[in-house]
Amino acid sequence: MTPAELRALIRTVPDFPVPGVQFRDITTLLSHGEGFAACVGHLAERADAAGAELVAGMEARGFIFGAGVAAKLRIGFLPVRKPGKLPVAAIGIDYDLEYGKDRLEIDPGAVQPGQRVVIVDDLVATGGTALAAASLLRQAGAVVEFVIDLPDLGGAARLREAGLRVDALIDFPGD
């Protein structure tokens, strides 16, 4: 399936979570076996072309796509977790949300010095979470990759300004 065909599988839910927001719901893509497999395949091709040696995915939807890409490429998967979820001493980064703060953590032993890591997530909006994850992995040569870009929210541009490569399969401009 082409990215345009995959785009058609993503449901738009108006006014969620607040009035005026057009929520891009990937559950309709995930439940479509051929579409989900094609999406993972496209992402895996891009991650392979970027020289991925490890795939990182941010909690929670990044786990779905990132683990699928890692399995397809037969390379490891690194979960980028919310605080307190790892059973070992973790390294982390605090970052700003639109209304507050959050934190991401990784197992420092899961990344080898100089290892090329590709971050895969479902969507880039403002880019704050992705930028935080990339900051944790930057010494490993992170490349950022997403399924959906909402370009009007500026997240991909923000990541590019930070020196990261951003590649999205699908975008929804103007929404």
Q: Which residues are catalytic, by number? A: 61, 98
C-alpha distances (whole Å) from 164 to each of 6, 34, 44, 145 are 25, 30, 18, 10
Alpha-helix residue ranges (DSSP H) falling in 97-146: 128-137
**Rounded Cα distance, 83 and 48, in Å:** 30
The pairing of strands 143-149 and 91-97 is: unpaired
Alpha-helix residue ranges (DSSP H) falling in 31-150: 33-49, 61-73, 128-137
**Which two structure tokens, joined as six digits, stand for 38?**
């094609």
Helix (H, G, I), strand (E, B) or coil at 56: strand
Bridge partners for 11 per DSSP: 25
